[in-house]
Structure 1
Amino acid sequence: MKPLSKPIFANMPGGFIYSVVIMALLSGCGASVANTETKQPVTALPVLNISTVPATTYREYTATLEGKVNVEIRPQVEGVLDKIYVDEGAFVKAGQPLFKIHDRPYEEQLSNANATLQAAQANMQKAQLEVDRLTPLVQNNVVAEVQLKTAQSVYQSAKASVAQAQAMVGSARINLGFTQINAPVSGYIGRIPYKAGSLVGRAETQPLTLLSDVNEVYAYFAMSETDFLQFKNETAGNTIADKVKQMPPVDLVLSDNSVYPQKGKIETMQGQFDKNIGTISFRATFPNAAGLLRSGNTGKIRIPEEFAAALVVPQSATFELQDKVFVFVVADSNKVASKPITVAGKSGAYYFVEKGVKAGDRIVYTGLDRLQDGAVITPQPMSMDSLLKVKPL
């Protein structure tokens, strides 16, 4: 057989040769990619069967604390502050001396009022003697009756002067008593802006101090109109007052996120909404025998809400996208698909789910950052009971 004198592609156009070579290369690359996808390992991830469990969720409201009694201690008379018997922050009992205003001017006023009273009493006695003298003379027709009536008028005037002088003595005695300022209730002394030697009086804008009775404290918080309607619709009772009484004991979460050890009770609410901000105020009372709480503290009131069967999802099994919360649900074919859920509340590391998933659904517990819709995984089953033992509600 005669050998070919030229290669088979010798008479072909150059462009055709390049096209054939490129197609062969692309074909080889496609085969390589397909093989890679086929050989990609399936991810093994923990999968949780979600279920309903008894649970407690909480509604929280910002609160401010006040002592059961907050009394502004103000002077009732003007004078120089002579003595300060207590220090800021001290605990005092009802009736204990707090301040002393220089009392010498008020002692002199009392002495003057007593002297005036004595003079008035002397005049009244003199007028009485004149009446007593004229009475038999008039009866015997020795003097005219008009003289007796005049004497009786003088006596009545003198008697009125005595009453007026007695009132002046009482007023002076009260003012003298006001120079000694005692604690009206037991409690803690607040800031004392004045020092000994300061001139104080009723016209001063600042009180001498603020005395707080904090054996019990009031926590004031406000509900929005939506929360109030929820409270009204879900709480047992025929009237609002009955519903307030039926509310469960509440917790006080302090500013460091610690929980005050004693429970409080919601006792009352305001009669109307604040039309400017659309809220209505409630008052809860907490015992405070140890004095751990003070007026001016802030915190949060936490109202519990019991669920006999709540659908619980760990927060670690969720992710957020555009202000929505999602989970990866595992289908029968072990393919995952992201689904949004509606969160009704939360407790600790768990969400309470209202919509989006149901009891018995399987969701991916961890490794969400490695997933996308349609991915196939190898489920590693885990139970909600075992998870709750490690991370309780």
Structure 2
Amino acid sequence: MIDRKSRPAALAGLLCIGLAACGEEQKTAAPPPPEVVVQVIKPEPVPSIVELPGRLQAVRTAEVRARVDGIVERRLYEEGTDVAAGAVLFQIDPRPLKARLDAARAALRRAQAEATNARRDVERFRPLVARNAISKQEFDAAEARLAQAQADVESAEAQVEQARLDLGYATVTAPISGRAGRAQVTEGALVSASQGTLLTTIEQLDPIYVNFSQSSGKILQIRKDIESGRLRTPELEQIQVSIVMEDGTVYGKQGRLNFLDMAVDPSTGTVSLRAVVPNEERILLPGEFVRARVDVGANPNGITVPQKAVQLSAESASVLIVGDNNVVMQRPVRLGDLLGDRWIINEGLKPGERVIVEGLLKAQPGARVKVTEAQAKPAGAAAPPAGQGQDQAQGQGAAPVRQ
């Protein structure tokens, strides 16, 4: 029995013991698992887009050169403007050429007169040789003179035609429609047909070509993916190509692939490709460097994860997945191309697996986490301009080596 005097002390002791027990329990209680957001892997059609550097080229380029010798009298076009086929560009002094044509016509008339005289001789000699009034040798000589005179007529006619052509070449016209460039000669300049003096250049800018190249290894991989069914691609003429300008903006109209070389350049190990792009507003200019985004096709069962979910190192890439009992595991993956803000996963993930997309800093391999499922975003949705995704990836670490 505890007497009344010792009861307060006993209560105080019990209170201290209770407080100590509570503190010990607080110290040994495990902290709650960190919360993470996961994305459940689901196969979906993933477009295969290859971005390559390229250069623009005019579809048709005509170098307008002098075809006769002479002095340039006038330039009859405005430099840097569009000209139609047949439009007059330059006028070369035609007077010497006209005099040459007149001389050729006079030579033709003289040859025709000689041929007429030779024909009459043959007509006179034919009945005489039948009566043996003249020798057969004289008749044969008359026929030979007629044949020679006829040949001289044909030669004179060719000279007239050539002189007529030369006179026509004095008026220099545009061989094609397009944008006429800067004049290479001025009025008073002497031009030469033998040297082929360049007068100006005309380029057809609508449509316009984009020339680029791809490594032979990548071409081989694409062919293997097509054969295995991992990639469904349209016909060559149906493959769409987008143009990314030097400032990163995407050109408003898409082109189509129209040429694939069947040989590999031995000096670079690449295959040449070409696309044709509409250019009605003349925004694209020949010689300009651009980036071509080629829509090769689509993988019907592709896998993508957000870019922020991938951890990059100098030689590999990995993601954190949530396994059984909500335990975190690290999984190495093989990356494909960067599609907008999402990496294409070529190898390492299976449908149904849960990839951590938010809370990576709080999740440690082997630890348990509290899971919240994110709403999956379709592949390629809200894709940033070309090149932006690659810059973000490089900001996370060294780019992985893709196999």
Structure 1 residue 81 corresponds to structure 2 residue 72: yes
Counterpart contact for 1:244–1:268, Cα < 8 Å: no
Counterpart contact for 1:245–1:267, Cα < 8 Å: no
Counterpart contact for 1:224–1:280, Cα < 8 Å: yes
Counterpart residue number, 2:342: 350
Amino acid at match of 1:245: E
Structure 1 residue 66 corresponds to structure 2 residue 57: yes
Query: How far is 1:55 from its partner?
Result: 2.9
355-364 or 175-184, larger mean C-alpha shift: 355-364
Query: How far is 1:315 from its partner?
Result: 0.8
C-alpha distance in structure 2 between counterparts of 1:99 and 1:276, whole Å: 43
Question: CA, structure 1 residues 270+190, in 2 after alignment: closer, same or farther (shift >3 Å)?
Answer: same
- The count of corresponding residues between Structure 1 and Structure 2 is 352
40-49 or 115-124, larger mean C-alpha shift: 40-49
Counterpart residue number, 1:114: 105
Unpaired runs of 5+ residues, structure 1, are: 1-34, 238-242
Counterpart residue number, 1:51: 41
C-alpha distance in structure 1 between counterparts of 2:107 and 2:186, whole Å: 36
Counterpart residue number, 2:243: 253
Counterpart contact for 1:67–1:214, Cα < 8 Å: yes
C-alpha distance in structure 1 between counterparts of 2:234 and 2:188, whole Å: 51
Query: How far is 1:136 from its partner?
Result: 4.0
From 287, 293, 297, give the equivalent of 1:305: 297
SS class of match (1:230): helix
Residues 64-83 of structure 1: CA distance to partner in whole angstroms, max 9, x if unpaired? Answer: 33333222222222222222
Counterpart contact for 2:339–2:379, Cα < 8 Å: no
Question: CA, structure 1 residues 78+42, in 2 after alignment: closer, same or farther (shift >3 Å)?
Answer: farther
Residues 279-299 of structure 1: CA distance to partner in whole angstroms, max 9, x if unpaired? Answer: 222333333344443433333
Query: How far is 1:277 from its partner?
Result: 1.7
For normalisation by structure 1, the TM-score amounts to: 0.76
Query: How far is 1:169 from its partner?
Result: 0.8
Counterpart residue number, 1:318: 310
Superposition map of 1:85-234 within 5 A? 85-204=76-195, 207-234=198-225
Question: CA, structure 1 residues 311+155, in 2 after alignment: closer, same or farther (shift >3 Å)?
Answer: closer
C-alpha distance in structure 2 between counterparts of 1:160 and 1:273, whole Å: 55
Amino acid at match of 2:208: V
Counterpart residue number, 2:17: none
Question: CA, structure 1 residues 125+57, in 2 after alignment: closer, same or farther (shift >3 Å)?
Answer: closer
Counterpart residue number, 1:30: none
From 300, 320, 333, give the equivalent of 1:328: 320
- Highest Rg: 1 or 2? 1
Residues 301-326 of structure 1: CA distance to partner in whole angstroms, max 9, x if unpaired? Answer: 41243233322211122332224333
SS class of match (1:61): strand
Residues 140-179 of structure 1: CA distance to partner in whole angstroms, max 9, x if unpaired? Answer: 4444443333333322222222211111111111111111
Counterpart contact for 1:270–1:280, Cα < 8 Å: yes
C-alpha distance in structure 2 between counterparts of 1:267 and 1:391, whole Å: 28
Amino acid at match of 1:63: G
Structure 1 residue 287 corresponds to structure 2 residue 278: yes
What is the root-mean-square deviation of aligned Cα atoms in Å?
3.5
C-alpha distance in structure 2 between counterparts of 1:323 and 1:252, whole Å: 31
Question: CA, structure 1 residues 390+286, in 2 after alignment: closer, same or farther (shift >3 Å)?
Answer: closer
Residues 312-349 of structure 1: CA distance to partner in whole angstroms, max 9, x if unpaired? Answer: 21112233222433333345566655443211222110
Amino acid at match of 2:275: A
For normalisation by structure 2, the TM-score amounts to: 0.74
Amino acid at match of 2:241: D
Amino acid at match of 1:328: L
Query: How far is 1:96 from its partner?
Result: 1.4
C-alpha distance in structure 1 between counterparts of 2:348 and 2:136, whole Å: 109
C-alpha distance in structure 2 between counterparts of 1:217 and 1:360, whole Å: 46
Amino acid at match of 1:184: P
Counterpart contact for 1:342–1:356, Cα < 8 Å: yes
Amino acid at match of 1:82: E
Query: How far is 1:93 from its partner?
Result: 1.5
Counterpart contact for 2:340–2:380, Cα < 8 Å: no
Amino acid at match of 2:214: M
C-alpha distance in structure 1 between counterparts of 2:364 and 2:295, whole Å: 39
**Percent sequence identity over aligned pairs:** 26
Amino acid at match of 1:326: S
